Structure 1
């Protein structure tokens, strides 16, 4: 059985090397790398193929087209693009849901390949067991889940940075308004002066307003994309004050105070959780060792019949 497994592992290694060599040779063939007939003729038939001129970017062909087609099929099969789009926007990653699914597919394929390499290595070393057959799919699943968790971690950390910057930014806006500037000029000044994540988002708001969007629509889009409750409340109060003519500086001062109270409450909650985490080594490491050092000498003396 071990000889058969070793021969199978060698066959996998040699067959994989042969397949890679064949793919590299096929990639050098001009017919495989040349654009298709449709791609060569399409620029001369734009009024038929693309009458509105919407397709501006060159379409991929060959291996790149195959990869994109598989990526889109993977994304459509998994679904859940709304959640991915929201986390991508929160993490400020320059890709879409289909691109992220494609990256997740690449991670899964890489995990399966790593698992296969480990299986082959274990078989060649003579330490294989029937359970190692589960290693490639398990490593692929772990890689795909790890890619998704990496996105969630990046989104959560960026939202935390935005939440930390919010009180200072609101106070800066209130100060600019108290100095006599308008709301849009205050936002532009804060966006140009600041260097954090929220300042970058405000620069995008300024660009959106400069290209024709209204200020309320740009602010609503910002709060909806980030999904931060404190920012959403501040934007709603600010928009209501703009529409009703309320004093904006007082509203922003109140929102900054509320944001600081939320930050203080979050900090207290984190401190409470850290206290619980600190009890884990105390209960599971230090306390058992203390009991062991206190009880073991008595047990040892009783076994020896002393005392």
Structure 2
């Protein structure tokens, strides 16, 4: 009789052998699909000089290291991750919303690491389930796959948590920053100088974004375009409306201090509404210990003396 643990180890080794053979078969020239770029590349004339504005985006160092170490396994894994959690453009936008300055390839490598940790945890749980509980090897394989998928999705979920935390931090900072901008503009400074002053004298997620906006304007970007990119880089919707309002006020000559004070008041009202919604949700959560813990104890203390008296009288 074959031991269940030996059967699981054999199935795992067979799975590794099958994956290796499939990768080797995919690298054969007559089985590998050639894309359009590879077919027309030999017939294109290459220029000796390249323009700085049309230079292709360089591949990140993390992706190069992973591809050199793992070869086609890294390419297939990164391709699967892009299909599971969205394309490169969507991931790039989410990274900018979270405030991270790393590349998409670095985040994919982190997802692969989380998937590897999930693989190890899944193999350990599968061996325990098959060895001690006598579960089927198919269930063990399913546990391993669920471990890998859970690790990958966990890293994506943590990125979403970072975006939500940054949005809440910016929502708390926005009314104060808008008041500081209004004071600086009312004192006679230009909008760009006011944003630069706030970025220099304050600290936080929102002053850092204002510093990046001032740097874009100093580098030649128009004010309207820089303010629009400020709204697209941040997860707070009120900042998008703030950028549009400031750009319209600058174009039409509207008093900017009044616009900034109105923006700050709108931000405070929005924070009050969010606080009321949060309080309404927490009120429901607060009823759970009352219903499941306090009320049963009250009923016990109310009925138990009567039952004791009845027992004594009987």
TM-score (normalizing by structure 2): 0.75
Instruction: Indicate which of 99, 105, 111 corresponds to 1:104.
Output: 111
Aligned to 1:137: 145
Cα gap change, 1:169/1:5 in structure 2, threshold over 3 Å: closer, same or farther?
same
Deviation at 1:270, TM superposition (A): 1.4
Does residue 244 in structure 1 map to residue 243 in structure 2? no
Q: Determine the C-alpha separation between the residues in 1 that align with 2:253 and 2:208.
A: 27
Aligned to 1:230: 238
Deviation at 1:100, TM superposition (A): 3.1
Residues 98-131 of structure 1: CA distance to partner in whole angstroms, max 9, x if unpaired? 543443243223212211122224444x333234
Deviation at 1:151, TM superposition (A): 0.8
Cα gap change, 1:97/1:167 in structure 2, threshold over 3 Å: closer, same or farther?
same
Cα gap change, 1:232/1:50 in structure 2, threshold over 3 Å: closer, same or farther?
same
Cα gap change, 1:5/1:64 in structure 2, threshold over 3 Å: closer, same or farther?
closer
Deviation at 1:225, TM superposition (A): 2.4
Indicate conservation of the 8 Å contact 1:111/1:143, yes or no.
yes
Aligned to 2:133: 127
Aligned to 2:50: 52
Q: Secondary structure at the match of 1:62?
A: helix
Residues 160-218 of structure 1: CA distance to partner in whole angstroms, max 9, x if unpaired? 10111001001101111111111111111111111110001111111111211112111
Q: Determine the C-alpha separation between the residues in 2 that align with 1:271 and 1:79.
A: 33
Does residue 73 in structure 1 map to residue 79 in structure 2? yes
Q: Secondary structure at the match of 1:256?
A: helix
Does residue 62 in structure 1 map to residue 68 in structure 2? yes
Indicate conservation of the 8 Å contact 2:196/2:211, yes or no.
yes
Aligned to 2:7: 8
Q: Determine the C-alpha separation between the residues in 2 that align with 1:208 and 1:68.
A: 36
TM-score (normalizing by structure 1): 0.77
What 5-or-longer segments of structure 1 have no aligned partner? 20-46
Instruction: Indicate which of 117, 121, 138 corresponds to 1:114.
Output: 121
Comparing 187-196 and 54-63, the one that deviates more: 54-63
Indicate conservation of the 8 Å contact 1:74/1:105, yes or no.
no
Indicate conservation of the 8 Å contact 1:71/1:99, yes or no.
no
Instruction: Indicate which of 260, 268, 276 corresponds to 2:268.
Output: 260
What 5-or-longer segments of structure 2 have no aligned partner? 18-44
Indicate conservation of the 8 Å contact 2:166/2:235, yes or no.
no
Deviation at 1:94, TM superposition (A): 2.5
Deviation at 1:262, TM superposition (A): 1.1
Cα gap change, 1:127/1:68 in structure 2, threshold over 3 Å: closer, same or farther?
closer
Q: Determine the C-alpha separation between the residues in 2 that align with 1:268 and 1:94.
A: 34
Matches within 5 A, 1:15-34: none
Does residue 93 in structure 1 map to residue 100 in structure 2? yes
- The CA RMSD over aligned residues, in Å, is 3.2
Aligned to 2:38: none
Instruction: Indicate which of 156, 168, 188 corresponds to 2:164.
Output: 156
Q: Determine the C-alpha separation between the residues in 1 that align with 2:143 and 2:174.
A: 46
Deviation at 1:90, TM superposition (A): 1.4
